[in-house]
Amino acid sequence: MTTNNAGQNNRVRIFDTTLRDGEQSPGAAMTFEEKLEVADLLDNLGVDVIEAGFPIASVGDFEAVSEIARRVKNASVCGLARAGFKDIDRAGEAVRNAKRPRIHTFISTSPVHMKHKLNMGANAVLDAVGASVSHARNLVEEVQWSAEDATRTEHDFLCRCVELAIRSGATTINIPDTVGYATPQEFFELIAMLFNRVPNIDKAVIATHCHNDLGLAVANSLAGVLAGARQVECTINGIGERAGNAALEEIVMALRVRRDRMPFETGIDAKLLSKASKLVSNVTGFPVQYNKAIVGKNAFSHESGIHQDGMLKNVETYEIIRPEDVGVSATSLILGKLSGRHAFKDKLSQLGYELADAAFEDAFRRFKALADKKKSVFDDDIVALVDDEIIRAQDIIVVKSLKVMTGVGIPPSAEMTLIVEGEEKKAEVTGDGAVDAIFNVIRELYPHSVNLQLYQVKAVTEGTDAQAHVSVRLEEDGRTVTGRGADTDTLVASAYAYVNALNKLLVKRRKQAPEALNVAK
């Protein structure tokens, strides 16, 4: 594979779809506030386009896309729409207030999708391409059209669709590997084929959107860039349905580290990659695998004696990226219990937080309590504490007190006081274990019927006094939410996480989806 110059310039646009393709994966649902937090960070990170959601999918999606459109300062804000006018109008309305509004409309073009999913023939699909793109272009300047399942589409038909979409006003043409089936050489050839055969191809930016079913999403996207694509669609930590999408951090760092072979630029501030990874992992409850490239816990750890020896002599022996280049700092021991407000504020701003006065006072009070309990307070402890403060600020149900009794020969029991919409409720209930007793007492105080899909405990830092970070995923009628809680006591963190998930479910119930959707990821 060699670089195809047909792509005109060396700037590769990063289109982030964490909030759309990523968020649609089961269990990754985010609340309104979490979506805003992620969107703000993506904008600071320097992504070119934020695909903020699928506005017709639900009132919640529409509101999140609208608010993101209003607040994002630099990136284009994009809403997804199927080929129908109703979808496109809703997406147009949601992104209306963005500095750079974009509508992303798509339709399947492969024989298998056209026959079994759409029940449409080739001419009907072509008609829909022309009509949907022209309609979207009447609403906004930036129109992106995607050929869903492009990698399994007949070449002649794909060329006709792409040419028509561009003629109808599409400014970006996206070529998805929807089912993650392509190989890098094949994907390179597909993009190169479009550059060779579509007469008006130079009038649009060509994009890749590769799924990771064979673990080839990043390799395929980079092959697409070498063939002339100048937009890569990706997600933080590679989240997305099934095996996910191309991981943004891997695309960005591969382009940066191997500029000798891939002479392209992105606008990404790589120093925020680690922070973005942690945020997305926290809000979705999807852990980052330890050996994940760029952002995994072990990505910069050297265990074997030979490697450690080499590193001590010269870091270049085993390190191709400096950890600080992606925002991983050496674990720093920070403030202690004697630290004052000023030092705490400085630390927060180094970590990228700016809290309003009341939130700052609350965070400071909790920091002092933590420093009393814990020998050493690390940066990660502060991040967990502040994130916990932010996520629980909106809660309708609040844990006021918790007492847990457990041991050998006694049935575990939990006594809890909850404040439910201002009203205090208290009960004591037993369970099969301490955590089960806690979850039972919550169900007793606030009766509900949901499926517990995930209960996960992670230590924020090392040591037995480390804060526990607990994630709880609940499911009700197909809606899933992930709650989080952090505390030096794992049982308290578990109660916080369950109640946080319950609060999110209440918000979701109030923003029910208007219509069921059957959409590709």
Select 28 or 386, whichever has its Cβ closest to ligand KIV: 28
Residue 106 binds which entry of ligand KIV, Zn ion, none, CB below 5-8 Å type-dependent: ligand KIV
Distances from the Cα of 257 to the Cαs of 134, 215, 321, in angstroms? 40, 20, 7
Across 390-450, the runs of DSSP E, i.e. the strands, are 397-405, 413-420, 423-430
Residue 191 binds which entry of ligand KIV, Zn ion, none, CB below 5-8 Å type-dependent: none
Among 13, 15, 21, 165, binds ligand KIV (CB under 6 A): 21
Alpha-carbon dihedral of residues 302, 306, 312, 318, nearest 10 degrees? -60
Q: Which stretch binds Zn ion (CB under 5 A): 19-27, 129-137, 320-328, 382-390?
A: 19-27
CB 210, min distance to Zn ion, A: 9
Is residue 521 at the binding interface for Zn ion, with CB under 5 A as the rule?
Answer: yes
Tokens of 266: 């992105």
Among 16, 21, 48, 67, binds Zn ion (CB under 5 A): 21
Residue ranges in 97-156 that form contacts with ligand KIV under rule CB under 6 A:
106, 146, 148
Q: Which stretch binds ligand KIV (CB under 6 A): 131-139, 171-179, 312-320, 430-438?
A: 171-179
Q: Which stretch binds Zn ion (CB under 5 A): 20-28, 189-197, 309-317, 496-504?
A: 20-28
Site string for ligand KIV, 52-91 (x = CB under 6 A): ----------------------------------------
- The answer to whether residues 402 and 416 touch, using CB atoms and an 8 Å cutoff, is yes
Which helix (H) or strand (E) is 175 found in, with range?
strand 172-177
Among 64, 114, 383, 520, binds ligand KIV (CB under 6 A): 520
Alpha-carbon dihedral of residues 388, 71, 16, 81, nearest 10 degrees? 120
Is residue 43 at the binding interface for Zn ion, with CB under 5 A as the rule?
Answer: no
Residues binding Zn ion: number (CB under 5 A): 2
Interacting residues of 453 by C-beta distance below 8 A, sequence separation 6+:
27, 473, 474, 475, 480
Residues facing residue 401 across a β-bridge: 417
d(CA 23, CA 519): 13
Select 225 or 470, whichever has its Cβ closest to Zn ion: 225
Among 22, 79, 176, 244, binds ligand KIV (CB under 6 A): 176
Alpha-carbon dihedral of residues 421, 422, 423, 429, nearest 10 degrees? 70
Site string for ligand KIV, 305-334 (x = CB under 6 A): ------------------------------
Is residue 23 at the binding interface for ligand KIV, with CB under 6 A as the rule?
Answer: no
Select 28 or 466, whichever has its Cβ closest to ligand KIV: 28
Select 497 or 520, whichever has its Cβ closest to ligand KIV: 520
- The answer to whether residues 436 and 414 touch, using CB atoms and an 8 Å cutoff, is no
CB 89, min distance to ligand KIV, A: 18
∠ CA 198-14-149, nearest 5°, is 50
d(CA 53, CA 51): 6
Interacting residues of 215 by C-beta distance below 8 A, sequence separation 6+:
243
Binding residues, as ranges, are 21, 209, 211, 245
CB 164, min distance to ligand KIV, A: 18
- The answer to whether residues 17 and 47 touch, using CB atoms and an 8 Å cutoff, is no
Binding residues for Mn(2+), as ranges, are 21, 209, 211, 245
Interior/surface letters 10-36, b for 16+ CB within 10 angstroms, e for the rest: eebbbbbbbbbbbbbbebbbbbbbbbb
Among 178, 212, 231, 494, binds ligand KIV (CB under 6 A): 178
Residues that bind Zn ion in the complex, under the rule CB under 5 A: 21, 521
Residues that bind ligand KIV in the complex, under the rule CB under 6 A: 21, 106, 146, 148, 174, 176, 178, 209, 211, 520-521
